[in-house]
Each structure stands twice: as C-alpha cells, then as structure tokens.
Structure 1
C-alpha cells in the first residue's frame, strides 16, 4: 500500500511539473500566421561586428546574410520577436517587431565622400541566397504579394536601409514583389507632365502604398522623406524626394495593379 501511495504521489508531481493536460485533437480553421511582413535591412558594418551587434546587444534579427561567403545565419526563431524594426508603421499597423521577420544583409551602407554619399553594392551571392529564403518564408507564412518591405518603408523619417542599390527589381522578377508596368508608367507620366497632381494627391497615394504620411497638402520634410523612400525602391536613379511626373505615374500604376 505504501508503494502504491508513493507511486500516486510521484505521478501527481510529474503531472504538475509538466503543466496542465491539454487536449489537442481539435484545430480551428480561423487562424493564420502572426507574421505579416518581412523587413529587409543592411547592417552598416562587417560580418564580425554584425554578428556581435545582433547576438550580444538589444538589437536582433531573425536572419543575417553574410557577404563573403553568403552564409545565412538564423539568429532568432521565427516564432519569437526580434528587435529590428524599432518605432515603425506600415499599412496602419505600428510597432512592427511583433508581426515581422527581420533579415539583415552584411553591407556597409554608405559613407560621405567629396561628391556626396557613396553606397556599397550588394554582393550578387547575397541576393542569390536571399531570394530562396524569402520564397520559403512567404510560402510557409502564406504572405500576400507586397509583404516584403524595406526598413526605410516602415521608418522613413530615420532610416534609409537597404538603400538605393538594393536590387528590388530582381525580387520582382522572382515573383516576390509587385512592380509597375513600364508601358503604363510611360503613358501616365506623359499625362502628369502636362498637369502634375497636388501634394495632397501624392500623400494619399503614398498612404495607399502603406506609408505613414500626413495628408495635409504641404510639401514638408516628412513628406519628402516618404517620397524618397518610395523612389529609393522604384526609381533608384533619382530619389530626391520631389513630387514629379514620373513618381506620380509609378505610384498610380502600382496602386492600380495592387487593387486589381
């Protein structure tokens, strides 16, 4: 009898130690991934320093892609929050650390030269490694087209990464990003060259893209920064933050394509 009591006590203790018994036979249809976006960054430093910063400090990311060789490091499990986005907003959602996967690419970013900023190109092998990783994440989390964004998209007042040399069009060619139809852009640009829309129109179109932008009709510094962030992705030869006919055409065509 004493042994029976001891066995029962041990069983009860084991049950308490393992937590409550949960029946997992049922699974709800109404669910999806907590991940809504993938945010791309550059590290602004070399691999050794990138690993140190992203593993030993408060800043982190889910993945880091080296430059030579283009090794993919997983630093945070996808079901855990990484601290890569900071104060951020996209499509009305804020503080995006909890709903995004962050990917850092080892790249120095830019330095100031006598003729302005010099940007470091991305190693082709890095992009070759990035694209399959993005496809895998998109497939597993069932993310819609347009879910891969830049740090500069979600924080245009303080961030410029991954910068104007990041090859967004390669991601579009891989089916990962919406891209404006060139013929449609040319037609719209001709029309906008004759009559440029108002600043309020630009602000409204940028907000439709997902940017946080005040729609007050004034061409202030904040609006210019948002325009530059958009141009840095879709018109990398000129990202001056000016509301011109080509930018208007790119915005309109992209928003129309995403609506259809």
Structure 2
C-alpha cells in the first residue's frame, strides 16, 4: 500500500470521518451504502461428478492446467472435530472448469452458473462378467450430504437444479454414475426424486418394460431440463439422454430404452416440480 493511502485510511479511523460503507481502493473511494434490488447469485446449479481415479491422481488432475472444480470429496474423508474434511480447490465466487459443453433447462455453459463437486470414485469397472460401478462408501456419502446440503441451503438451489454431469452433458458423460446415492440425498433434502404413488398412477397398469412413445418421452425429458430432440427418432443420441435420466432416477436399469416405467417416472417428476 502506498504511504498516502495508508495515511488516509489511518486518518479515517482516528477522526471517524469515513463511513464504514466506504471502501478506499487507492485511486478512488467506493460508497457501498446504496444497493440495487435486481441482483442474484452467480450460483444457480449444483453439479455432481466422479473423478474416475484415486484421490492422489484426482487432485493432481484437478489442480493442473486443463480442468478444475470447487470441491473434492475423498473416498474416505479424514475426520476433524467429528466432521469430515473435504477439499475446496476453487472459491465459490469464481468459475471452475468442471461442466464443459453443457445445458440444463435452457441454460448453457453451466460452468458460469454452478458449483461443481467431484467425488473420488473410479466409476465403471469392466470385467469379463460385465460392467459394474464402484460404490460410494457411507463415510463419503455422509460428507457429500453435508457439503451439498450446505450449498443448496446457502444459495437456495431448487431440487431440479441439483444435477449429474451426465444430465447436463448426456452425449459425453456418465458421471457420477448409477451407483451415486441420489435417493439418499433426496431424503436429506437435496435434489429431486419422484413419488412412488405418482409413478404407479402414471404407469396405469402398463408393463414397466413395455415400449413408450419416444416423442412423448422426449418431450417430458426436455420439459424437465434435458437437452434433447422431440422428433421421436430413437437413435443413439436419444438413447444416451434416456440412459442419463435412468441413471439418475432408475439406476436399476439404465439401458436407455424408452419404456413405460421411464415415461411414468418423468411424468411423476413433472407433476411434482412443474405443476
């Protein structure tokens, strides 16, 4: 600080001539006593990821030159004073590079409007017997819940804006995968989940695996927030969007088929969150 600026600040303190709402920035003074009403937070979404690597490798990648994230939740968080410790790599007020090319509810470039949480987890595990997914251990889930609950509370993030990376970029991403504990988060007041009776009502006695109208299902998914066509063409792009939705809301079967149960879940979610 220049001597003149320091002296001016000292004079303000000594003679109480400067208001506490004024900030001396050296070349000018900012008066912060008047506030605009039309303002909101940069943070409007919470995006969940998995790291697809162990803790050391994940932290090395996320502090490198290519990608970044606000928080990293270890697989086995250390405990201090009875609470789990998570890593914060980027201040919440700043944009991290975690979402990439993305869209949700018409908002594009989610990096600018979200907080990202990377959870240490290898994701898919391919074996001769088929693909499995690494589970999220209870201690990690506890830390995820506590961190996410704090974020959605402070920023008043609605349930339908707590999303997976695969929700906002279904053509590119599968994280945090079908093993992620979305229902546990919902039970803790974080994120969205369909009501079982409403799903049964919309299923209306249909076989859950019966084919659904593709265009109608796409329209429901688009209304909920997914970037998808509504032309009824069941191609690879449509399948990936449906699979992303299923990984979030029906992880027992995420093959991407347009079936009656998926359609009923989408309808139940719209009833609940878009009445």
Instruction: Answer whether TM exceeds 0.5 for this pair.
Output: yes
| Correspondence 1:50 to 2:65 | no
Distance 2:4 2:234 in 1: 76
How far 1:19 moved relative to its partner?
A: 3.6
| Pick aligned residue for 1:220 from 235, 252, 272 | 235
- The number of residue pairs the alignment matches comes to 251
1:244 maps to 2:252:
no
In the aligned structure 2, how far is the partner of 1:18 from the partner of 1:135? 40
Matched, 1:147 2:155: no
Do structure 1's residue 39 and structure 2's residue 54 form an aligned pair?
no
1:20 matches 2:28:
yes
Q: Once structures 1 and 2 are overlaid, which stretch shifts more, 212-221 or 195-204?
A: 195-204
Selected match of 2:244 from 229, 239, 255: 229
CA offsets, 1:132-191, max 9 Å, x none?
A: 211111121122222210000000011000000001000111111221111221222135
The 2-side partners of 1:173 and 1:7 are apart by 57
Q: After alignment, is 28-37 or 216-225 more displaced?
A: 28-37
Quick one: structure 1 residues 19 and 209, their matched pair in 2 at CA, closer, same or farther if it must change by over 3 Å?
farther
Does 40-49 or 66-75 show the bigger shift? 66-75
Residue 196 of structure 1 deviates from its aligned partner by: 5.4
Q: In structure 2, do the counterparts of structure 1 residues 16 and 209 end up closer, same or farther at CA, with 3 Å as the change threshold?
A: closer
Aligned-partner Cα distance in 1 for 2:4–2:225: 61
Q: Does 1:75 align with 2:89?
A: yes
Partners of 2:129 and 2:197 lie apart in 1 by 34
In structure 2, distance between residues paired with 1:23 and 1:16: 9
SS in 1 for 2:142: helix
2:91 and 2:125 map into 1 onto residues whose CA distance is: 33
Partner of 1:3: none
Does structure 1 conserve the Cα–Cα contact (< 8 Å) formed by 2:182 and 2:248?
yes
Aligned to 1:56, what secondary structure does the other structure show?
Answer: coil
Question: Do residues 138 (structure 1) and 146 (structure 2) align?
Answer: no
Query: What residue ranges of structure 1 are gaps of 5+ in the alignment?
Result: 1-5
Deviation at 1:248, TM superposition (A): 0.7
Distance 1:124-1:23 versus aligned 2 partners, 3 A rule: same
Q: TM-score, normalised by structure 2?
A: 0.86
Deviation for aligned residue 1:192: 4.6
Runs of 4+ in 1 over 4 A off after TM superposition: 191-197
Give the aligned partner of residue 128 of structure 1: 142
1:155-234 → structure 2 map (5 Å cutoff):
155-193=169-207, 197-234=212-249
Once residues 264 and 27 of structure 2 are traced to their aligned partners in structure 1, the CA distance between those partners, rounded to angstroms, is: 58
CA RMSD of aligned residues (A): 2.2
Pick the structure with more helix per residue.
1
Does the 8 Å CA contact 1:53/1:59 hold for their aligned counterparts?
yes
Contact 1:203–1:214 (CA under 8 A) maintained in structure 2: yes
Q: TM-score, normalised by structure 1?
A: 0.90
Residue pair 2:24, 2:30 contacting (<8 A) in 1 also:
no
Runs of 5+ consecutive residues of structure 2 not aligned to the other structure: 9-22, 79-84
